[in-house]
Structure formats: structure tokens, C-alpha cells
Amino acid sequence: MRVDLHNHTTLCNHATGTMEEYIEKAIEIGIDVYGFSDHAPMPFDPKYRMDISLKSSYEKSIEELQEKYKNSIEILKAYEVDFMQNSSLMLDEILTSKVDFLIGSVHFLQEKNSELWGFDNPEFIGKYKEKDIDLIWSDYFTAIKELAKSRLFDIVGHLDLIKLFKYLPKKDIKLLAKDALKEIKKANMVIEINAAGLRKPINEPYPSKELLELAFELDIPITFSSDAHSVEQVGFMYDEVKSFAKSVGYTKCATFKNRDKELVIF
């Protein structure tokens, strides 16, 4: 079974193509289960996410596509939610939505002056040279650990997103991430193998092989995501990412329905 659960729409303000075009592309390349999981509304950084006023139309559009293409592909309804340790920024209206799954992702780190640093935004790349790289990585995985502890989400989005600009730690990555992965296991969560890293300077999937091996040792399930922001990116390098998962020992991936997880052979 071919599964692709993390994909966006133009409602997030930084994607292209219609939702129907994404589905037609997914059918064309043999995706069996396709998830729309656009950036959830929240009162922060509005130019990179949908407005709360668009929530109903987003969900209705997915439901219409589910009906139209029910004999060709399974379409899932979801959100990618930014997790920040200041959880007041997250909307209860999203966290309690009737969806198939929620992806929790960390895109921002808290600075000492209480400002939030969008570490994956090229506009703010200079911060990497201002701080100790091991501290940045430690802060990032502390945030991932807190995300898992919240028990709000089903999938951890792009587990080691902090690597995308190739600012890598001096410390052992497994040691930096181990407590976070243990918390992910306790929370019964899934990590995605996200192909978007292959489109970034790091040029490898999220997570790295080292972290995927650690996840396998801890018996943490995986799923697959292309993190598409354009029609051309749907199913991006799917066969390569599938082979990557198999090389570590995985043979099953997760899919969801109404927040219930099912493992299927890929």
C-alpha cells in the first residue's frame, strides 16, 4: 500500500495547485491513501497558514473530494499544527476537530527574549551563527519531547527539521534526540519519513538514518509523507523513501481513520 499523509493546499499561502489536481496526481502515481494536512490556523505568523475563516471550506472541500473519488483513492482529512511551548497559541477549535489525524510539528524555537525564531525560514538563517549549534539542537529536541508529552497529536512532523540548512551538531545526534524519541514511544505516536528534506540543502529525508534506526529500535511506527506544496511534489521520491525505510528494517507504515491508527504493509 502506498501512503502519503502530509500535503498542503493553497490555503496556507505558500503552495500552488488545486486540491483536485493533487488528488489526480496521487491517483496517477498509484497512491492508495492520501492525506490533506494543511497548516492549521493559529494567531501567529498568518502569512504561512490558513485563516480560521477558511477552516470550514477546507474541510468541506476534502469531504467533496472524498465522495467524488471514493472508488479511486482514500482521502484523509487532517491538519499540521505548530507546537510551541506557549500552547496558548494553539486553537482548541483545531485540536478538537473531527479529523483523521493531527501532525504536530516544531517550526519555531523560543528565544531568551521570549521571541520565537522560525529556524526553517531562510529569512532568519543568521541565527545559526549567533548561537551554540549543540544548544540549538538540544532546544529543538526538548520542544519535540514536550510536543510528545502533550498527547495532542498522532504524528510527529519531520522529526529532525532543524538540520535542513546543514548546520549539524557536534554531539551525537542519537544522544540529543533519544529522550524525545522515548517520549514519542510513550505517547504511542508515529513519526513520518518526510521526503521534503530531499528538496532542501541537507538533501536527505527527515529523519536521518541514525534517528530512523533509533526509532526502529524503540519500535516506533512510521508513515510516509511528501510534504507537497505543489502538484509536482505529490509522492516525491516515494520509491527511494520506501527503500530507505526498508533498509532500516521497517515493513509496515501507519494510516489513520478518525484518529485511530492502522499499520499496513508497504
Helices (H) and strands (E) counted in the chain, each on its own, are 8, 11
3-state secondary structure of 64: helix
CA count, 13 A, side-chain hemisphere, 251: 0
Model pLDDT, residue 115:
85
Specify which residues 102 forms β-bridges with.
Answer: 79
Give the residues of the chain that fall short of pLDDT 50.
none
**Residue 120 in contact with residue 161, Cβ under 8 Å?**
yes
Model pLDDT, residue 112:
79
Model pLDDT, residue 64:
98
Model pLDDT, residue 90:
84
Q: What is the pLDDT of residues 105-137, one digit of tens each?
A: 999 998 877 789 999 999 999 999 999 999 999
DSSP classification of residue 229: S
CATH assignment of 3-265?
3.20.20.140
Closest by CA to 2, choosing from 23, 26, 38, 37, is 26
Could you tell me how far CA 149 lies from the centroid of its own chain?
A: 17
Q: What is the pLDDT of residues 190-235, one digit of tens each?
A: 999 999 999 999 999 999 999 999 999 999 999 999 999 999 999 9
Question: What residue segments make up the domains of the chain, in order of their start?
Answer: 3-265
Closest by CA to 11, choosing from 66, 48, 44, is 48
CA distance 147 to 262: 22
Name, in order, each residue with C-beta under 8 angstroms of 132's C-beta and a sequence gap of 6 or more: none
